[in-house]
Amino acid sequence: MQTVVLGTSGTTPQDVIDVARHGARVELSTEAVHALAAARAVIDALAAKPEPVYGVSTGFGALATRHISHELRAQLQRNIVRSHAAGMGPRVEREVVRALMFLRLKTVASGHTGVRPEVAQTMADVLNAGITPVVHEYGSLGCSGDLAPLSHCALALMGEGDAEGPDGVLKPAGELLAAHGIAPVELKEKEGLALLNGTDGMLGMLVMALADLDTLYKSADITAALSLEALLGTEKVLEPELHAIRPHPGQAAAAANMLAVLKGSGLTGHALAGEAPRVQDAYSVRCAPQVAGAGRDTMAHARLVAERELAAAVDNPVVLSDGRVASNGNFHGAPVAYVLDFLAIAAADLGSIAERRTDRLLDKNRSHGLPPFLAEDAGVDSGLMIAQYTQAALVSEMKRLAVPASADSIPSSAMQEDHVSMGWSAARKLRTAIGNLNRIIAVELYAATRGIELREGLTPAPASQAAIDALRAAGVEGPGPDRFLAPDLAAADTFVREGKLLAAVEPVTGPLA
């Protein structure tokens, strides 16, 4: 099994994916253990002094004015975890919780939180045992970080609450810890606060979203190229010289991908008998690289933000390298929340343009010779009429999901936390949007491949044929009389989501950008 070693300087997107989705083991480097011990010594020294220090010997948030005596401090740390584990609603996905736990451990390992090495090791042990605390959909305002979700994870470290074992069975967390030989932690000064105070949930979902969108944007370039072929469009608008004079890198990459897919096509630029020559294709075809390219450039900015956050130590207060313990506002989720919302906007537009191409394929007045709704016997057969309805409904929902969460704020903690990021909400709706986008692209794939196969006597590009062959081999049927359509669409959705469309095309085109 792959192992990810955490040091003091953050982690990488691939490490997050490996731990969250593939169950990679987590280890603490010797450097991290030493940094943890050094920071803890600072906290222990402050805890012994009579002067109050926020998070060490005071209450929290609006209750920070109370100085807490030595004998109540362990109770204080337990209480903050228990009281903050106040999430509601459905459970979030296992991969999200694993990313959340791993990224909190990443900050702890930085040596800026004052958490003891043994607590950090327990966090790694829980991940490695495949124990996944129950975290709920609702409870985070994205400031101070993802408090409720992280609290549910910290609760499991204490042996309280519920968790899912590696077998997928839900049990009391204390039972699961005992079954794997893990002793529950007894939190000391500052440790409860340090386990709760970060942007780890929204960041983990951002990292996974970027990985998913990378596949989806390449897949959308492929389906756009297939639709162009099915509509007998022209590939001349994809020439690199045209995109060089508007030098957006994402646009150039999308055009190059489409051109690679279309290489050797016998359908592009084909004029039907009796049809006036087409000077230009519709915007949904001609402007596909511009829309997909803008989304790619948005992703590039989001990656930059994610990489910075992955290198960060997000906690309040923090132990600085000079030994000071200082309060800050680094837990505010605005940087992450903004890009999560930006990505939802871009994804909605990519889904919208894909749906417009599908609609064009189905309309006999605009499809340049294809049968109505790509039906076998139009009138007796409805063809893909309602598949496009489903796609349109998904696009409509994506437009609603594109409304930014980060433009909102709601005061909390008796107005101490009077401006919040709503980053967790931005991340949750982006995950829904990505699932919808995958389905939208799958419907375009289904329609475009059928349209190409209905162009009898014309030969598609080798890459297009490879996509069609792989889709048919996956059990998604081609043209014919009406049949129960939902299983075909579900299979096409899985085909795209699992990267099989890319896997079919790239051996012909080479790696797509």
Which residues carry out catalysis? 54
Q: What is the DSSP letter of 443?
A: H
Residue-by-residue DSSP string for 305-334:
HHHHHHT----SSEE-TTS-EE---TT--H
Which long-range CB contacts under 8 A does 45-50 form with residues at least 24 apart? 46/325, 47/73, 47/189
221 vs 211, 228, 244, 254, 488, CA distance in Å? 16, 11, 18, 6, 21
Start-to-end CA span in the chain (Å): 30
Task: Tell me if residue 45 falls in helix, strand or coil.
Answer: helix
Residue-by-residue DSSP string for 4-33:
EEE-SS---HHHHHHHHHH--EEEE-HHHH
Numbers of helices and strands, H then E, in the chain: 19, 9
Rounded CA gap, 206 and 8, in Å? 22
C-alpha angle 444-463-273 in degrees, rounded to nearest 5 = 70
Residues in the chain: 513
Tokens of 425: 């909400």
Task: Tell me if residue 300 falls in helix, strand or coil.
Answer: helix
Is 26:1 a contact under the CB 8 Å cutoff? no
Q: Pairing state of beta strands 3-6 and 25-28?
A: parallel
State the Rg of the chain over Cα: 27
Residues 6+ apart with CB under 8 A from 181: none
Q: What is the DSSP letter of 461?
A: P
Task: Tell me if residue 412 falls in helix, strand or coil.
Answer: strand
Buried b (16+ CB within 10 A) or exposed e, 339-363: bbbbbbbbbbbbbbbbbbbbbbbbe
Rounded CA gap, 304 and 202, in Å? 15
Rounded CA gap, 268 and 228, in Å? 7
Residues 6+ apart with CB under 8 A from 30: none
Is 111:39 a contact under the CB 8 Å cutoff? yes
Q: Using CB atoms within 10 Å of the CB of residue 202, give its burial: 0 to 12 exposed, 13 to 18 middle, 19+ buried.
A: buried
Going by C-alpha positions, the residue among 466, 474, 507 that lies closest to residue 490 is 474
Going by C-alpha positions, the residue among 435, 454, 443, 431 that lies closest to residue 492 is 443
